Amino acid sequence: MTWSNWKEFHVNAPIDNLPIVTAADYSASHGQDIAASTLFSITDADADTITNYQVWDSTADASSGHWVVGGVAQGTNAAINVTAAQLSSTSFQSGSGSDDLWVRAYDGFAWGAWKEFHVTAPVDIAPSVTASDFHATANQSVAALSLFSVTDADGDSIAQYQLWDSTPSASSGHWSIGGNTQPTGTAINVSAGQIASTTFQGGTVPDDLWVRASDGISWSAWHEFHFIV
């Protein structure tokens, strides 16, 4: 019993054509949630199914936008892997100014070239806080929204507040959120949903207080005022 000679043969498949991404610059509003599928499109000359995408955000400014995959905000300056199944839950959340973005696609055989485009929103104007010194009686409790007001030139909704009490004296007052006493000497985060239940509980000596507000993109400057008893 013997083996035959080896016989050589070849399997030839067409050379794969890389996927091609088309994307145009996009003008957005502040905080606009834009479906990824509306920002770019893919063609493949071989009609191969696109199995994966990679997106990239080159703009690291804290007030700029970001990619979101499945509700989770993504970082900057790194390739973000997105499967075909995840594309429908992938979006870009605009911020302030222009974001430099990139995308490429994979057809199961090879990656296409990166395609650059931009999402540009108006430059955000930070909120402005107004507050005056408040004259109170000893141990008086005052609603936070009676102590300061916030305006936003863009008409953006206020998303968050930060409060601060610089007076550590045991005889001084304190911020309270939902009935819970807050500490002094630290920034106190207050959501838009919590501000209505936020108060300042005065003491028997004056308090040095601060407040600032965020429209979800930019923070206002800190504003100082005093609670005087």
Q: pLDDT value at position 97? A: 95
Q: Which fold has domain 20-121?
A: Immunoglobulin-like (2.60.40)
- 3-class SS at 115? strand
To which H or E segment does residue 35 belong? strand 33-35
* Sheet with 134-135, side-by-side order of all strands: 134-135, 223-228, 207-214, 160-165, 188-191
Q: Are strands 174-177 and 90-93 parallel, antiparallel or unpaired?
A: unpaired
Chunked mean pLDDT (size 10), the chain, 229 residues: 91 90 96 97 96 98 96 98 98 97 97 99 95 97 98 94 97 97 98 98 98 95 97
Q: Quick check: do 20-121 and 128-228 share a fold?
A: yes
Residue 142 to residue 66: CA distance in whole angstroms: 38
Reported as type and span, the H/E element at residue 139 is none
Distance from C-alpha of 103 to C-alpha of 50, rounded to nearest angstrom: 13
Residue extents of the structural domains in the chain: 20-121, 128-228
Q: Pull the structure tokens for residue 3.
A: 């083996």
What pLDDT does 170 receive?
94
128-228 has which fold?
Immunoglobulin-like (2.60.40)
Give the model's pLDDT for residue 89: 98
